[in-house]
Structure 1
Amino acid sequence: MPVFVIPFPAIDPVAIEIGPFALRWYALAYVAGIIFAWWYMLRLVANGALWGGSAPMTRRDVDDLILWATLGIVIGGRLGYVVIYNPLHFAAHPGEILQIWSGGMSFHGGFLGVVIAVLSFARSRGRPVSAMADIAAASTPVGLMLGRIANFVNGELWGRPTDVPWAMVFPHAGPEPRHPSQLYQAALEGFLLFLVLRLVTHRFGGLRRPWLATGVFLAGYGAARTIGELFRTPDAHIGFLWGGLTMGMVLSLPMILLGCVVIATALMRPPRPPATPAAQA
Structure 2
Amino acid sequence: MTFTTPAAGAAPRLGVESDGLVHDLPVLADRAGAALPSDLLSFVQAGPAALETARRLLDGPRPAGAVVHRLDAVTPCVPFRPGKIIGVGLNYVEHVEESSRSLDTDKDLPPRPVLFGKPATAVTGPGQPVLHNADLTTQLDWECELAVVIGRTAFRVSEEEAYAYVFGYSILNDISARDQRRSGQWFFSKGQDSYAPFGPVVVTRDAIPDPMALDLALRVNGVTKQKSNTRHMLFPIARLIADISSGMTLEPGDVIATGSPSGVGAGMVPPQYLVPGDTVEASVERIGTLTNPVVDAR
Report the TM-score, using the length of structure 1 for normalisation. Answer: 0.26
Write 1 or 2 for the structure with the bigger share of helix. 1
Report the TM-score, using the length of structure 2 for normalisation. Answer: 0.25
Write 1 or 2 for the structure with the bigger share of strand. 2
